Amino acid sequence: MLVVDASVLVGILLKEPGLEEAEQALIAKSDAISPAGFPNEVVNGLRSAVLRRRIDFDQALAAAAAADELGIGIVTEEPASIATLLAKARDWGLTPYDCAYVDLALAKGATLLTRDGDMRAAAERLGVKVLPSAPRSV
């Protein structure tokens, strides 16, 4: 099982360099999942690319369709209490959004696919396997 971080998927969709291993891992997994906020984060990344003129809107739509074709499952389990989320964000040194990915990987015993250096470090401290193997900070 693979938990997919939105930023790594957006990077793959935009054909950013250095994500070949991540792309291969995603293609090879039929059981990729992400937390409930994932679709909004992917859309935000594509929207930002349009606003920064890296791609046009038609390219963003094509990337969104490609993302949908991957069939990444969205996990909509009940969130922890606000106090628990706040404590995890503090303890793990992550945003609440990033905590959701690490928490899901922990709960499912899954590998985390991310290019976020802070998320990678927190996940590894908690014993979660992380891909791609070569970290890349954003």
Could you tell me the domains of the chain?
A: 2-131 (3.40.50.1010)
The answer to whether the predicted template modeling score (pTM) of the entire model surpasses 0.85 is yes
pLDDT in tens, 27-37: 888 899 999 99
90-116 per-position pLDDT tens digit? 999 999 999 999 999 999 999 999 999
Taking each helix axis as running N to C, give the angle between helix 96-108 and helix 117-125, from 0 to 180 degrees, rounded to the nearest 10: 40
Using CA atoms, how far apart are residues 90 and 97, in angstroms rounded to an integer? 13
